Amino acid sequence: MRRRADRLRILYAIADELNGTSDTARALERMLTIVTKALRLRSGWIWLLDPDSERFYLAASHDLPPYLREPVRMSGSWCECTQSFRDGRLAARNVDVIECSRLAPAVADKLTKLTGGLRYHASVPLYFRDRPLGIMNLTGPRWRRLSASELRLLGSIAVQAGAAVERTRLAREGARLARTQERTRLAREIHDTLAQRLTAIALQLEGGLKRMERDGAGAQLEFARALDIAREGVDEARGSMLALRGAPPAGDPLPQALESLARRFTSSTGIRARVQAASIAMPAAVESELLAIARESLTNVRKHARATEVSIDLARRGARVELSIRDDGAGYARSRAGRGQGIVGMRERARLAGGALTIAGARGRGTRVTASIPLRNGGA
């Protein structure tokens, strides 16, 4: 009876964490803390499948040994547990104990200080119904077989985690659908109001122009100019409708696009990238420039920073939108800052959007790139 009460207490605590915040990554990290403590283990980490690229990325971790804290060890490259998951050998009906292929080189070299004595881990597949989502790995320095009740507990926790991850995916899809619907609505309104009115004005001006032909060249020129303006307006309205309706489905709102970019970056480098992004109404051109700035910043982190973590923040500051990319890496030399073509390109993109780019940091203290763009007319 006591074991059942303990199990329910753990499940309730995890449910509170997973349902109490929209930051899924932090909720998964807190979940790992609860699980490892409850099972008297030490470390845990969660791989998730990026829904856009179908590659694994490190979504959360707890107390990794030094060897696995090096980002290169935790990129989305091949390992035994992820391969087993892809092959269907790691199924929802079992919890396999696997010798960690990422730790194997350090174990073979007897680098106990780096591995923390870890060698094996339990791999728990995460699903939502039949949808494969990822893997939760749990381990301790003195590995022991998990009891039947512990395995049942892990199965229940996996269901909770899978539901939380799926909720995040559905929210992202909902934002994408809402954006598409809004584009369609705007295109319809342009057609039903502005385009039709401009067409009516053009027809009236054509009739007036014919009646005025015998009444003087001056009035005729005025009518002709007004007619040209109306026709230009019709062409612009039609172009706007085509641009709105022809927007690619992958054109996510900027917050979702930044999250997708961060997942791909983490998958390829092992460097954790966290995103805090508010939904802010802004022109599509500004969104495009900010996304390109974020992409180039992450490229610079990959090449030069020797970082272990990156944070990407998108927020509104008064009448401006601010995008900040901060890493905990090596920093930069101020005497050379701004000379690289990537940085030059980012500054140009910020200027094209009507704003400015700043770079702050120092050697050994990381770097922060900030793009600040004015939101004209309140940003609507």
Q: Which residue has the tokens 């791989």?
A: 47
Structure tokens at 273: 């990238």
3-state secondary structure labels for all residues of 316-345: EECCEEEEEEEECCCCCCCCCCCCCHHHHH
User: Measured at the alpha carbon of residue 75, what is the angle toward residues 72 and 78, in degrees to the nearest 5?
Assistant: 110
Q: Please provide the average confidence, as pLDDT, over all residues in the chain.
A: 84
Average pLDDT (76-93) is: 89
> 95-127, pLDDT tens digit by residue?
888 999 999 999 999 999 999 999 999 999 999
Structure tokens at 275: 């995103």
Q: What is the pLDDT of residue 327?
A: 96
> 200-239, pLDDT tens digit by residue?
677 767 777 676 666 655 566 666 666 666 676 666 666 5
CATH: 3.30.450.40, 3.40.50.2300, 3.40.50.1100, 3.40.50.10860. Which one for 2-172? 3.30.450.40
Contact 273, 74 (CB under 8 A): no
Q: What is the pLDDT of residue 366?
A: 93
The DSSP-derived string for 15-36 is HHHHHS-S-HHHHHHHHHHHHH
Q: What is the pLDDT of residue 233?
A: 64
10 Å Cβ neighbour count for 281?
A: 11
As a whole number of angstroms, the distance between CA 36 and CA 140 comes to 9
Residue 253: pLDDT over 80? yes
Domain chopping of the chain, boundaries: 2-172, 175-245, 254-379
Residue 180: pLDDT over 90? no
10 Å Cβ neighbour count for 75?
A: 19
Q: What is the pLDDT of residue 144?
A: 76
Contact 293, 351 (CB under 8 A): no
> 129-149, pLDDT tens digit by residue?
889 999 999 998 877 778 888
pTM, two decimal places:
0.79
Average pLDDT (168-188) is: 73
- Answer whether 2-172 and 254-379 agree in fold: no
CATH superfamily assigned to domain 254-379: Histidine kinase-like ATPase, C-terminal domain (3.30.565.10)
Nearest to 102 by CA among 87, 86, 126, 83: 83
The DSSP-derived string for 131-168 is EEEEEEEEE-SS--PPPHHHHHHHHHHHHHHHHHHHHH
Q: What is the pLDDT of residue 339?
A: 52
Q: Which residues pair with 32 in a beta bridge?
A: none
Q: What percent of the chain has pLDDT over 70?
A: 79
Residue 198: pLDDT over 90? no
pLDDT-based confidence at 357, cuts 50/70/90?
Answer: very high
